[in-house]
Chain A
Amino acid sequence: MSFPWAKQYQPTTELGKFMDSRLPLPRFVHGALGAGYPTPKNLNYFYNFGVLAGVALVIQIITGVVLGMHYAANVAVAFDSVEHIMRDVNSGWMMRYMHAVGASFFFGVVYVHIFRGLYYGSYKPPREVLWMLGLVIFLLMMATAFMGYVLVWGQMSFWGATVITGLFSAIPLVGNVIQTWLLGGFAPDNATLNRFFSLHYLLPFVIFGVIILHVWSLHIPGSNNPTGVDVKGPQDTVPFHPYYTAKDFFGLGVYLTLFAAVVFFAPNALGEADNYIPANSLSTPAHIVPEWYFWPFYAILRAFTTDFLFIPAKLWGVIAMFASILLLFFLPWLDTSPVRSNSYRPLNRILFWVFVAVCLVLGVCGGKPAAEPWVRLSQVLTAYYFAHFLIITPLVSRFEKTLPLPSSISDAVLAKYGKTPTGGSGGLGGAAAQPAE
């Protein structure tokens, strides 16, 4: 595509030639995921997670379509229809557990994918739009997952819907009107369930569309790599197929094995017992929590406990929670360091791991009841979360002394195997590692 040495698609069969001049779909796939996409040859296993996320979405769509054939989006029978799937539908229990566990795995994979991008500076020029499209996918996933959780119409579904739509009631003047509009009533009811089902069915296909844009914008500059150094020539790349298809296939095997272990041996480990109680609008469970993948954001929401600057605490929490994700859209302009990879940014690398720890502990706080010491802890960590992106990152990127970069990807690979950096011997590296084709 954008690399002149990319392998050109050559149709070999008559049918291939026929199609190529009419609908060049094989040519498109060849260029996107086939031998026609030159990929840096030094990608590590963290670069598997993009493909894994795609597979996770496909699993969700397939199992979801199946569940949709048996699910009934009506408050009178929604919970019963889920139990009907679990008990009477052929293999229904498997479909439902795969869908429920699959949502958790999808988020897990996407979080690794996001943090990989953060570590190796994949959001930096020229990949800003790629990064932002990824964030759009993340936001759509959150909306989809939330609405899917409501469909079960258990206690957590109902009260989750109440609480999350309640966020919008924090908006001054029009908040209550907006909440009522979202719910189609004054509390979650049939109208809510029906619209959530409709949107829950729609959004995955929107996500699929944005993924196509995401991959399109990936192919313009090509993949980033652990050194963060640009591809200099053919010696730096290998064709995506068979090299990375083989590696992704292996990664997928590992992923599916872990997935199967949870689906078949601990399918309810990531869920809440309360959601096996049918929704009851007159009784709230003692301890309302969202699913684990929302916990860090839930902790940020609850961290704002005092009115400040005439803005009530509730509104602060809502603003901060949305801001915590939206600020990621500005990251390419907040981090101005010319060095992409944290492998060559010693200070920022430490700060990255501190940030990972902060997010994990925020997650723990979000899963706990709103009591001390968790509230105070989440307040300090929330402060760090915002400081990390809005204050520390811009400053560090300006003043940090970075390590010397390898002159090329090939050089870095040679250095790794030779155990001694080869310095400026770019010519040697270039001659050494021609991709075998």
Chain B
Amino acid sequence: MASETRLPLDNSLAPEGERRRDFLYVATGAFAAAGAAAVVVPLVNQMNPSADVLALASIDLDLTAIQPGQAVVVSWRGKPVFARQLTPAEIADANKVDVSTLRDPQTLADRTKPGNEKWLITLGVCTHLGCVPLGAREGEKRGDFGGYFCPCHGSQYDTAGRIRGGPAPTNLEVPSYAFKSPTSVTIG
């Protein structure tokens, strides 16, 4: 409690008092701001994927049933993944292209795992605006380069899933995956 006698004292030390007062207000304000920032973190973080969504972030895929020239479509993180076993002809096709002429220069070897070049695993998401290209399922149009064809805006992908024509800027994305055995991979 302030006493009557303190008041003149306070007045005589006005500049000193001013400075201390300012410091107190600044400290209080800074503390409040830090608290507000700490509250914002969970408010923002709650919009990130929840634990059950993250738990589905990796899937196991069995390749035994996929014949040469065939592909399967599986769902990974809510997006389609194309897993294709390339025929020797398709591999040869992909390897004879001069990489330097490509929009997104990559060799087939860059896009597959060593020793497993016949397994082309890519996201089934066109790099233009996110449509699902045709060509993974039996009888679908595979475009001028024998790979995939996006019906939305006409992007053409070759047998290595590389962009060859149309508006898409980059090759079909290769997800991170690893071979657990010669016939099974873990995606993600």
Contacts and interface: CB of A to CB of B under 8 A. Distances in A.
Touching chains A and B, CB distance < 8 Å:
yes
B47 interface: yes
Nearest to A63: B43
Nearest to A253: B32
Most interface-central of B32, B42, B46 (chain A CB within 10 A)? B46
A92 B52 contact: no
Interface in A17-57: none
B12 interface: no
B46 A92 contact: yes
Contact of B46 (A66, A84, A87, A249): A66
B52 A84 contact: yes
B42 A89 contact: no
A89 B43 CA distance: 11
Interface string A68-86: 0110000000000000100
A95 interface: yes
Contacts of A90: 42, 45-46, 48, 50-51
A91 B45 contact: yes
Query: Which size class do A's interface residues fall under?
Result: 10 to 19
A382 to B, nearest CB: 43
Contacts of B32: 249
Interface residues of B, number: 12
A88 B43 contact: no
Contacts of B42: 90-91, 94-95
A62 interface: yes
B149 to A, nearest CB: 37
Nearest to B42: A91
B46 A91 contact: yes
Prevailing SS type, chain B contact patch: helix
Contacts of A95: 42, 46
B20 to A, nearest CB: 16
A66 B43 contact: yes
Given A84-B52, A88-B51, A88-B52, A62 B43 contact: yes
A84 B43 contact: no
Nearest to A252: B32
A90 B32 CA distance: 24
Nearest to B51: A88
Contact of A87 (B45, B48, B51): B51
Interface in B118-133: none
A293 to B, nearest CB: 25
B6 to A, nearest CB: 15
Contacts of B53: 88
A94 B48 CA distance: 15
Nearest to B52: A88
A48 to B, nearest CB: 17
Contacts of B28: 249
A425 B107 CA distance: 97
Interface in B52-110: 52-53
A300 B17 CA distance: 57
Interface in A136-189: none
Given A84-B52, A88-B53, 19 more contacts: A69-B46, A69-B47, A70-B50, A84-B50, A87-B51, A88-B50, A88-B51, A88-B52, A89-B46, A89-B51, A90-B42, A90-B45, A90-B46, A90-B51, A91-B46, A92-B50, A95-B42, A95-B46, A249-B28
Interface of B: 28, 32, 42-43, 45-48, 50-53
Give me the 3 closest cross-chain CB pairs, A-B, nearest first: A91-B42, A88-B51, A88-B50
10 contacts: A62-B43, A69-B47, A84-B52, A88-B51, A88-B52, A89-B50, A90-B46, A91-B46, A94-B42, A249-B28
Interface of A: 62, 66, 69-70, 84, 87-92, 94-95, 249
